[in-house]
Amino acid sequence: MLYGTPTARRRDAQRNRAAIVMAASEVLTEADPVSLMPEIARRAGVGQATLYRHFPDRHALTVAVLDHQIDRLEQAAAELAGHPEHFVELLRSVLHTQIAMRGLVVLIRRLDSATQNRYLQRALTALGGPLRRAREHGHVRTDLVPDDLVLLFTMVQGVAEATTDTAAARAAADRSVDLMLDGVCRALPEQSQLR
């Protein structure tokens, strides 16, 4: 057959879609969203027609990349089930990914608020169990709750966007993550007296 079997075409389509999402994740760590689509097609090794067949616009691509990133977070959080001592490193990784993927954050802000909230809730749900276990085992403050993670995300984003100099913004955001996580891990004064 000239075009292969339907199963082979489906596999090719799945491979192309996965390659596009991976390329988009990579591009969004370094590029301006304005030049997003042509660069993603090039890196994924597909033509722009193939890219647009899978993702007709930036909205569809943004949602796919966001799904991919949240899937990765959910998997990483599930792997922590028996290791509450690693929660802070997971949170550090999430915050550094947020800094690195400034382009994705710009695109997420263009999504409707219901979609944004749906993904935020998925992220908080993924982090909620590991946070609770880390809190119970004394690895984070006893008063740290999932809503506090939203504050951390917002603070890091504010620092990351404080300047247009990407290198300076990343350095400042990285430093803010270190300072915030020091506060997350530090026991409250009454906790220290009980130990």
C-beta atoms surrounding 117 within 10 Å: 11
CATH fit for domain 58-186, picks 1.10.357.10, 1.10.238.10, 1.10.760.10, 3.90.1200.10: 1.10.357.10
| pLDDT at residue 158, rounded to an integer | 87
Please give the Cα distance from 135 to 193 (Å, whole number). Answer: 17
| pLDDT at residue 194, rounded to an integer | 45
| pLDDT at residue 43, rounded to an integer | 93
Low-confidence ranges of the chain (pLDDT < 50): 1-2, 191-195
CATH topology of domain 1-56: Arc Repressor Mutant, subunit A (1.10.10)
The answer to whether the pTM exceeds 0.75 is yes
- Provide the residue ranges of all domains of the chain, joining segments of one domain with +: 1-56, 58-186
Torsion of CA 65, 70, 76, 81, to 10 degrees: -170
| pLDDT at residue 187, rounded to an integer | 59
| pLDDT at residue 189, rounded to an integer | 53
